[in-house]
Chains A and B, each alone.
Chain A
Amino acid sequence: MRMDCEAAREHIDAWALGALDTDERIAFDAHLATCTACPDLAERARDGGTAVALAVPLKTASPSLKARIMASAAVLAGVSRRRSPWWAATAAAAIVAAAGLFGWSAYLQTRIAVLDDDNATIVAAATAQSREFASLRSQLVSTSAATDEVRSAQKLQDSVLYIVAQPDAQLTRMDGTAMAPEASGHYVWSPGERLGAFDATSLPALPPGQTYRFWFVYENQWLDAGLIDIDDDGNGRLVVSRLQGGRPDRGSLLGYALSVEQGNAAPASPGQLVLSSPQQ
């Protein structure tokens, strides 16, 4: 297929939108390479094509995405800076201080890659063996669900890293009670971001029907911050963005606690404590 100027100009808007098929695009590009007049028109058309992107409704990317991108860029740059910005702290934390957290993150990434590979393998097998399609399809659904679960955990981990990396982050240590002497935890609060992250390790597994719940302990009120799930190693995390139900007369904040509760419903008062901060 060959194009002259007239044909090229008929195709120019579709080219700018990326809507030419392969033969048309090759012919168009070949014409552009030899023509003196059409390239200027093509640039203008390309601007028009890209302008369509500006019409997209604006969505807000998660703060953890920025933290991830900046930390990656800092790592690529070698983190040698004249001052120490937050992303360098994030990168440094990723490399050194929070090696454990990042190891977990790397583990999750690996799991995602493995599960993605599983997806691809299952899809390929389904194509080759149509008689097994129904059962493989159901496997694909469950593998995809597992991938989503791991990705959710990854996002939670990213959020915790983001909060820990804030320059105004305040750390409160939490110790295990007699019920769980091996357990420990931390609560990190960033006043600037108004975000908090709770991280616990070595929590004992709970019998079915029981749950862990995180509390803000005020002078006159225990304020429920939400449930946490733990993994097989007894690790649990929670990101706290906004608490509800606080009374005006709740008084000063004394510390934080983790309790064991029956079921998922929020109790009026905490059950048996497994972690508490020393201030209480």
Chain B
Amino acid sequence: MDYTALRDDELMDRLCRRDLYAFEALYDRYGDLVYSVALRIVTDTYVAEDVTQDVFLRVWRRPELFDLQRGKFVTWLLSVARNRAIDERRSQGRRLRHEALPSTGEEEDVLPSAHDLDDPALATVLQDDRRAVREALGVLPPEQRLAITLAYFGGLTQQEIANRLGQPLGTVKTRIRLGMQKMRGALDERRREGER
């Protein structure tokens, strides 16, 4: 059987029946993406590998936690990866509270860039989604993009972002709300164009 041809939900069905080949196919499809998200958040390759291992073994042990009715597999997987990485980042912060926390990298490297988009292991549809998100983020005003990036990858609350940037809390809330609305609008527009 060609596992690479199976959809995510079909692979997850097989995972529930303890099919290691399905698990390998999911790792091949999303391993680098999960690792990249973890690395962006924790900024340490060893810790990012630990987070990636933890996320995938969690999927292997408890595949039933994924509920297809509540959305796409990749959305759920990235959410698990992000939460796990943020926990690790906060834990690092507590352990090394006398050290400077790793930089959040600010927002520069989420701007559209052609050279790192092509990964043959990622499903084509995901490549399109990645390109769309980066383009949508790329057209946002830098201050909105920065607020979104600090929240998502830095794990900061709106109040913490306001403190870090020296801006009023209301300004940060507006930046996040407007930025996310614009990004959603750009993605919806692109989706509609794709359907025409």
Contact = CB atoms under 8 A, between A and B. Distances in A.
Contact of A43 (B20, B40, B61, B70): B70
Contacts of A60: 32, 35
B130 A48 contact: no
Interface in A219-270: none
B20 A21 contact: no
A74 B24 CA distance: 11
B77 to A, nearest CB: 9
A46 B78 CA distance: 11
B180 A58 contact: no
Contact of A57 (B95, B116, B183): B116
B75 A47 contact: yes
B139 to A, nearest CB: 12
Given A14-B151, A54-B126, A76 B60 contact: yes
Chain B interface category by residue count: 35 or more
Contacts of A123: 95-98
Interface in A113-131: 119-120, 123, 126-127
Contact of B53 (A13, A47, A51, A65): A65
Interface in B33-67: 33, 35-37, 39-40, 46, 49, 52-53, 56-57, 60-61
B137 interface: yes
A279 B90 CA distance: 56
Interface residues of A, number: 51
Interface in A65-112: 65-66, 68-70, 72-74, 76-77, 81, 85, 87-88
A44 interface: yes
Contacts of B149: 52
A47 B184 CA distance: 9
Contacts of B155: 18
Contacts of B70: 43
B117 A48 contact: no
A58 B75 contact: no
Interface centre among A19, A45, A65, A133 (most CB of B within 10 A): A19
A81 B24 CA distance: 14
B167 interface: no
A31 interface: no
B20 A52 contact: no
A56 B110 contact: yes
A36 interface: no
A68 B137 CA distance: 35
B126 A61 contact: no
Interface in B12-33: 18, 20-21, 23-24, 27-28, 31-33
B98 A137 contact: yes
Contacts of B61: 76
B93 to A, nearest CB: 11
Nearest to A119: B95
A54 B190 CA distance: 15
B113 interface: yes
A62 interface: yes
A55 B75 contact: no
A37 interface: no
Contacts of B110: 52, 55-57
B173 interface: yes
A20 interface: yes
Nearest to B135: A55
A73 B60 contact: yes
Interface of B: 18, 20-21, 23-24, 27-28, 31-33, 35-37, 39-40, 46, 49, 52-53, 56-57, 60-61, 70-72, 75, 78-79, 81-83, 86, 95-98, 109-110, 113, 116-117, 119, 122, 126, 129-130, 133-134, 137, 148-149, 151-153, 155-159, 161, 173, 176-177, 179-181, 183-184, 187
21 contacts: A17-B180, A18-B151, A20-B158, A21-B157, A51-B129, A52-B133, A52-B183, A54-B78, A54-B134, A55-B137, A56-B109, A56-B153, A57-B116, A59-B32, A60-B35, A61-B32, A65-B49, A66-B28, A74-B20, A88-B20, A127-B98
Closest 7 CB pairs of A and B: A13-B180, A19-B151, A61-B35, A17-B151, A55-B110, A53-B78, A54-B133
Interface of A: 10, 13-14, 16-21, 43-62, 65-66, 68-70, 72-74, 76-77, 81, 85, 87-88, 119-120, 123, 126-127, 133, 137, 151
